[in-house]
Structure 1
Amino acid sequence: MPTIPPVPTLEPAFDVVAELGPIEDHGMTRVGHRRVVPIVGGAITGVFDGEILPGGADWQIVRADGSIEIDGRYSARGRDGSLLYLHAVGVRSGDPEVLEALLAGADVDPADYYFRAVVTVESAAHPELERAVYVASYVREANRVRYRAYRVT
């Protein structure tokens, strides 16, 4: 009889609030409609507590249907002085009018759109964080994005 793999569960790991700068719209490039959203600060709390450092960004591709491919890369400095590198890859999608409202900075109920990502972590000081897979559920606000990352057990 073959062994059945364990069923994964989710346990809350950390929360991120990333403050955003103005969208840089690069227009239609060879890979699609490119946008870059600078990350200018923020906070991370949970299994790692610290500040999101300015200098990261979310490199986005806007699909023909208005959905957005997310590729966020940024760093955090912990209260202990250690560094954490986060890389989030995912998608934000929904009805066209909902996506337009988000782009305009409107307060939209997160139940009205889909915004999820896989988050990978690198840290020399906290290698235990590198030994897990994380998935995140997001809320987009006018000048920031918030998410909760869950460790997949």
Structure 2
Amino acid sequence: MTAEPPVPALEPAFVVEADLGPLEDHGHTRAGHRRVVPIVGGTVRGAFDGRILPGGADWQLVRSDGAVEIDGRYTARADDGGLLYLHAVGIRSGAPEVLAALLRGEPVDPADYYFRTVVTLESATHPQFQQSLFVASCVREATRVRYTAYRLT
């Protein structure tokens, strides 16, 4: 019997609001134009509720075409006390003037740029979240990133 693979669907899972510190521009390193954006707090609501702990960051690489490769890593403490490690990898791209406006912290309509990530979670106290991949549609604001994560079925 030859069975077809299931067609994935998206289930809303959780909403993240990550508060950001000042961007650290490391300039052109051996890996490329490196920027680090500290994650200083925030919230998670949905499949689990909790607070984002200070100490995470988004280690960005700015490509020659202006797109930004996202590599965000941070920890949330769920309301029940459990810790969850979130890792968001993705891309933010758009017209040069739109990306420049985002960098200056100006409000930009999210429809004017592309900002998507794949989110994975690790947790000893919430192992059910380690069994799935999540995709997220993100919004960059002056001092925070907001995204809705969807479980890929």
| TM-score bucket (shorter structure) | over 0.9
Gaps spanning 5+ residues in structure 1: where? Answer: none
1:17 equivalent to 2:9? Answer no
Q: Hey, what does 2:141 align to over in structure 1?
A: 141
Could you give the per-residue CA deviations for residues 45-89 of structure 1, whole angstroms, max 9, x where no partner exists? 001100000000000000011100000000000111100000000
1:3 matched residue in structure 2: 3
SS of the residue corresponding to residue 22 of structure 1 reads: coil
- C-alpha distance after superposition, 1:1-50 (max 9, x if no partner): 52111100000000000000000000000010000000000000001100
Q: Secondary structure at the match of 1:142?
A: coil
Q: Match for residue 54 of structure 1?
A: 54
Q: How does 1:4-153 map onto structure 2 within 5 Å?
A: 4-153=4-153
Give me the TM-score of the superposition, normalised by structure 2.
0.99
- RMSD across aligned C-alpha pairs, in angstroms? 0.6
C-alpha distance in structure 2 between counterparts of 1:31 and 1:21, whole Å: 23
Q: Secondary structure at the match of 2:139?
A: strand
- In structure 2, runs of 5+ residues without a counterpart are none
Residue identity opposite 1:90 in structure 2: G
Tell me the distance in 1 between the aligned counterparts of 2:93 and 2:138.
Answer: 12
Amino acid at match of 2:134: Y
Deviations 1:118-151 (A, max 9, x none): 0000011111111011000000000000000000
How far, CA to CA, are the matches of 1:120 and 1:133 in structure 2? 6
C-alpha distance in 2 between matches for 1:115 and 1:73: 16
